[in-house]
Structure 1
């Protein structure tokens, strides 16, 4: 099922989703599952229960189709895409294949990278990896700080394209240009960018990026994507192996060894291992079709039409804005005057936004509209 494109974004799109108990205003946390994705999951479940006659399903064909759709979404070749269980699994796989997990080499990252990634680099630093964490200044990471850090020979620059903390969006083209001029590679966590803001791997020049699919890709937990630029594959020395990396197995039972293997020359050959969460992949077959049909540009414009006026209203109401002014980011983080009351007030009003000790985060999606924004403001200031 494909989205009916003649319906405008906003409240009209709620028909694509089931009834929600709350006004959902933070899809940067987790995007609600659409009815179409639910039906795709139901068909997959029927297939797994032995009902293939009524629900024909071919796991390999669906995986290949989803791989192609995601590649199209980010401007990659399908051969540059591998399935991974999560964003963190992808980042760890890149570090291992570059020989950085053993404590040798140097990585530059920043304070707005994903919290789990910062923990990863802290642990690797304990094992000897040279790690420099650039500071955040006024909610952003300064390219001048990166340029200074790269004066020391560096193997990898690791960033979140869009920060989950405050929505800061790196100028990834500039990051890659700086890094590559100094001989460093670039990894980007794109979980808050893919499907939310226009992003092209070829234009940016990024070497590796990864994301899970339960946020802006409208998928589920347990499956994600890892992009590896084709002309960087020869710089990798993978340390984890499995049958997905093999293009051909030739049995020769009476010989030694009893099986000959032919490795794939693509991203799956470097990073594929075992089984994937095929139920989640089946959902993505529907959800990625949704996103490609509507277009990321249209989704981003709709979100900006909600966040830009909200930003101005919040400033007028005395909130402290934590997100740098950037219409391309899908996230707005702010601290209202009565932050300690925010969680209870939102819950009482039936509005879902993520509330942390220092901020509230909102990230509207295709079914949100101005009435939802009004409900948020009324809950916090009413």
Structure 2
């Protein structure tokens, strides 16, 4: 049962000095709770809140909306994403989340009856259901289990490639364990064998410092509401230039067509899609509320630096790991070089103990997630060592 530690230990009682980053002041106090759950939902920095308020005013006063905003706002978002990923803005399609990009890949890549798709066992449902939906077209879906241990890595996926394998879909970072796949090695093999590589970046983009231009990825889909600290219902899809023309446009919206902004001649021109990945934008991509918020969050992270985010979360993870004995928890993530991410997964001595610790943490205002019977800890730039001490003290009180 739960002993009675204070709900929110005061910093004066903590043995470890607070190492708050200068960025903490840009966020709320989370209602006095300890928020360690960015992998579920990232909070808005203050700059984003102000940007959304300005967007609300546009809807309150539509007479102030310039017609050019419908073109310029998506362009600004595309450029912000391109700076983050180190890619050409023309390779970026605006999305409502990772699911949009994964469905785009499943429906638009040239797959034929008899082709095989490989998925890692334990993938997040968003990277499973779009592919299962293709089974009715005669496409085979095969799940790959780990040869040993808990994690499905690139070696397992490469070893499972068969003569009909046409596509591999994998999470860059696994949502439950935080395991980071070496997509560079996997992508190089896929290129050699003519296999498409589709990557779910929902748990890596914004948490792991990488340049998509240096990775042999055909399509990278991600969400804006987690590590990117943007609005729910935002995201983007990176499409490698080499496959852009091989993707079929399945969903046509008027803004994806060349000359559509010329409303003096509506519907009068031929169907010619716009250049680049923007032809795959979600409909109504110029949503004021969503894009003003996303652009502000991406600009904030550009000032912080994703390398700073990754280094900061790594230090917090390390501090947590050093104190786990007192909490009677152990690490379930792979701590090998190159495998770590913004997610640290922990487990107790049994499933019951793990769930009891999770409930105790939640009851005492320490917000984490339970995924695959693992306690998932996912801090960001706003978290401090004091937050980690609160986690450890609370977890240690569970009996």
What TM-score, normalized by structure 1, do the two folds share? 0.89
Deviations 1:291-331 (A, max 9, x none): 11111111111110111232243267542322111464100
Asked if 1:124 is matched to 2:134, the reply is yes
Give yes or no for contact 1:81–1:267 (8 Å, CA) kept in 2.
yes
Measure the CA separation in 2 of the matches of 1:124 and 1:106: 10
Aligned residues: 371
Find the counterpart in structure 2 of residue 332 from structure 1.
344
273 and 56 in structure 1: CA distance in 2 versus 1, 3 angstrom threshold: closer
Whole-Å separation in 2 of the counterparts to 1:203 and 1:224:
21
Match of 2:59 among 48, 57, 67: 48
Once the two structures are TM-superposed, the CA of residue 253 in structure 1 deviates from its matched residue by 6.9
Deviates more, 1:50-59 or 1:163-172: 50-59
Match of 2:228 in 1: 217
For the Cα contact (< 8 Å) 2:117–2:140, is it kept in 1? yes
Equivalent residues in 2 for 1:286-325 (5 A)? 286-314=296-324, 317-325=327-335
SS in 2 for 1:155: strand
Q: Gaps spanning 5+ residues in structure 2: where?
A: 1-17
Query: Is 1:369 matched with 2:384?
Result: yes
1:279-290 alignment runs, 5 A limit: 279-290=289-300
CA contact (8 A) 1:222 1:280 kept: yes
Alpha-carbon RMSD across the aligned residues, in angstroms, is: 2.6
Name the structure 2 match of 1:5. none
Give the deviation of 1:365 after TM superposition.
0.5
In the alignment, structure 1 segments of 5+ residues that lack a partner are 1-7
Aligned counterpart, 1:347: 362
Superposed, which structure 2 residues align to 1:1-382 within 5 Å?
A: 10=20, 12-21=22-31, 22-50=33-61, 58-100=69-111, 105-125=115-135, 127-136=137-146, 137-249=148-260, 258-269=268-279, 271-276=280-285, 277-314=287-324, 317-326=327-336, 328-337=340-349, 338-356=353-371, 358-382=373-397
> Closer, same or farther in 2 for the Cα pair 1:9/1:283, shift >3 Å?
farther
Shift of 1:171: 0.5
Distance in 2, matches of 1:27 and 1:162, equals: 14
More off after superposition, 170-179 vs 230-239: 230-239
Task: With a CA cutoff of 8 Å and minimum separation of 6, indicate the structure with the bigger relative contact order.
Answer: 2
CA–CA distance in structure 1, aligned partners of residues 372 and 203 of structure 2: 21
Instruction: Report the secondary structure of 1:240's partner residue.
Output: coil
